[in-house]
Amino acid sequence: MTQLFPLLLFFFFTIGCQSLHSIGDNPSAEELFQHASKLKEKSYYQESLNYFRKLKSRFLYSRLAKEADLEIADIYFSQEEWKKSTKAYWKFSELYPQHPKADLVLFRLALSYFHQLPSTEDRDLSLSQKTIFYFNRHLTLFPKSPYRSETKKYKKEVLNLLAQKEWMIARFHLHQGKPHSALPYVLKLMNDYSFLLPSKDTTEKHSDLPSLKKLKELAKELKTTQKKI
């Protein structure tokens, strides 16, 4: 009996896997959607994608074809294929702005852009503008969203990265002995990112950015230097 148990276990496991991965010869849109969804739940992402795509090709005008588009976007997101999820969520958001999950779609679209950003300010930050655009759009369109606090948090991270970039360039010009070139970046940092700068009395949290007080003093000094030149 003890030898038979592992065989029975393997048998039922094999049958279960076969039923999960198999479907009839002529399935309906509903059957394809349910089958693809079960595969997705079990993290069989590639097979799930195949069945969702099959549904879309066979039942283009079915209401489930639209839902398949969203499921495909979610799979890309789960696999951290950010470029693909960006494209898929953007397309879905544009086609179905009134969808019941439009809130989540827009949040994940912004997040897909966010995850493509570098972690340091010395890299290409060109995607930051689109990232902030979609975070702002989410905050505007869904003021009561359960993802609102996360949206604000991620948006602040992007803005902080941009502020670090301005300060990095300002310091570069200062080290090069070019105060006139550093001044625009110092002023931009003060004008656009003042809410991120630590106050003169802040000692609670470390920040790589200068305090607002020090930045004002630096700007004043640079303006004076510029007048003398």
pTM of the predicted model, to two decimals? 0.84
pLDDT at 38 over 90: yes
CA-to-CA separations, 106 to 19, 109, 137, 196, in angstroms, rounded: 35, 5, 8, 25
CA dihedral for 208, 213, 216, 221, sign (positive or negative): negative
Segment 60-79 mean pLDDT: 97
Q: Which residue has the higher pLDDT, 225 or 222?
A: 222
**Quick one: which of 145, 136, 62 has its CA closest to 102?**
145
Model confidence band, residue 225 (pLDDT cutoffs 50, 70, 90)? confident
Indicate the Cα dihedral angle 165, 170, 172, 177, nearest 10°: 170
pLDDT tens-digit map of 103-124 = 999 999 999 999 999 999 999 9
Q: To the nearest whole number, what is the mean pLDDT of the chain?
A: 89
pLDDT tens-digit map of 139-191 = 999 999 999 999 999 999 999 999 999 999 999 999 999 999 999 999 999 99
**Quick one: which of 201, 48, 192 has its CA closest to 70?**
48
Domain with CATH 1.25.40.10 in the chain: 98-229
Decide: 112 and 86 in contact? Cβ < 8 Å. yes
Per-residue model confidence (pLDDT) at position 91? 97
pLDDT at 12 over 50: no
- Angle between helix axes 29-41 and 4-21 (nearest 10 degrees) is 130
Decide: 70 and 79 in contact? Cβ < 8 Å. no
Model confidence band, residue 25 (pLDDT cutoffs 50, 70, 90)? confident
pLDDT at 72 over 80: yes
d(CA 229, CA 227): 6
Segment 50-71 mean pLDDT: 96
Determine what percent of the chain is predicted with pLDDT higher than 90.
81
Decide: 103 and 131 in contact? Cβ < 8 Å. no
pLDDT at 10 over 60: no
Superfamily (CATH) of domain 98-229: Tetratricopeptide repeat domain (1.25.40.10)
pLDDT at 204 over 70: no
Per-residue model confidence (pLDDT) at position 2? 52
Per-residue model confidence (pLDDT) at position 22? 67
Q: Which long-range contacts (CB under 8 A, 24 or more apart) does 52-60 make?
A: 55/29, 58/29, 58/32, 59/29, 59/32
